[in-house]
Amino acid sequence: MGMRPRYDESGKIIGAHNMIFDDISDQYKMQRVLIDKDIQEISYTAFMKQLRNAKVAEEFEDNNYYSREVISHLAIDYLYSALYLQKGIAEKRGKNVLSLYMIPCAYLCKHSVELKIKECLLEKYGEVENTHSLAKLWNRLDEKSVLHYEKLNSFIQELETIDKNEMALRYGVSVKLEPLQEDFIFDIDALLNNTKFFFNVVDEFIICKYRYKQKEK
């Protein structure tokens, strides 16, 4: 951030503004975001879409296969992004500085869990529930015999408490612009480590179970 002076038509300074992003000048020209060539970076989702459009293999025509692949990779993408933000949190830790990354990091983490459960649902049922509630998705999955179920279930309930109405981590206030019941106080390191453990367990004992069971038929 940095103070940027403001002038009137005669060149007389009339004030200043503390710019949020001081590296962007007042003369910055908005650029086209949607591009079709000279791509510097490409997401896995975009790559999958190109493969589907190019009809490189029959499985890409299968919506169930295509959705599983995209959702699976997006879940990892969101989690890795959260882990990247965790580094920024750790750098400021112990310096009595309010973290800019806590809520975005938690949101990315929670959303990655949502996508991972939906991947499980796709493997088991071939469809997903139209909800963002982790508790509803987890109950729909109904895998009480899975290893470490009680630990995973408790984790899901904690995530629901952190963001019960899908408002806390996205908006911070209610639709009526009032404070939410959530306290926004949690251990971000535990949240991320629990999420990684959750991914390991459901991938090995739920996703692989149904994915390779289908192939054996």
- Domain membership of residue 76 (yes or no) is yes
What pLDDT score does 58 carry?
A: 86
Does 14 fall in a domain? no
Q: What is the pLDDT of residue 39?
A: 60
Q: Which band of pLDDT confidence, cut at 50, 70 and 90, is reported for residue 200? A: very high
- Do 198 and 151 form a contact (C-beta atoms < 8 A)? no
Selected residue with higher pLDDT from 118 and 59: 118
Residue 161 lies in a domain: yes
Q: Answer yes or no: is 6 within a domain.
A: no
Within a domain: 138: yes
Instruction: Provide the number of structural domains found in the chain.
Output: 1
Query: What digits encode the pLDDT tens for the residues 155-194?
Result: 999 999 999 878 899 999 998 999 988 888 899 999 999 9
Residue range 25-60, pLDDT digits in tens? 989 898 877 776 666 667 888 888 888 888 888 888
- Per-residue pLDDT, averaged over 101-123, amounts to 96
pTM for this structure?
A: 0.84
- Enclosing domain of residue 54: 43-216
Q: Is residue 13 part of a domain?
A: no
Q: pLDDT class for 98, splitting at 50, 70, 90?
A: confident
End-to-end CA distance of the chain: 60
What sections of the chain are H helices per DSSP?
A: 44-54, 63-92, 102-125, 134-141, 149-162, 188-202, 208-216
* DSSP for 136-198, written as a single string: HHHHHH--TTSTTHHHHHHHHHHHHHHTTTS-TTTTSB-TTS-B-S------HHHHHHHHHHH
16 domain-assigned: no
pLDDT at 103: 94
The pLDDT value given to residue 146: 95
pLDDT at 40: 62
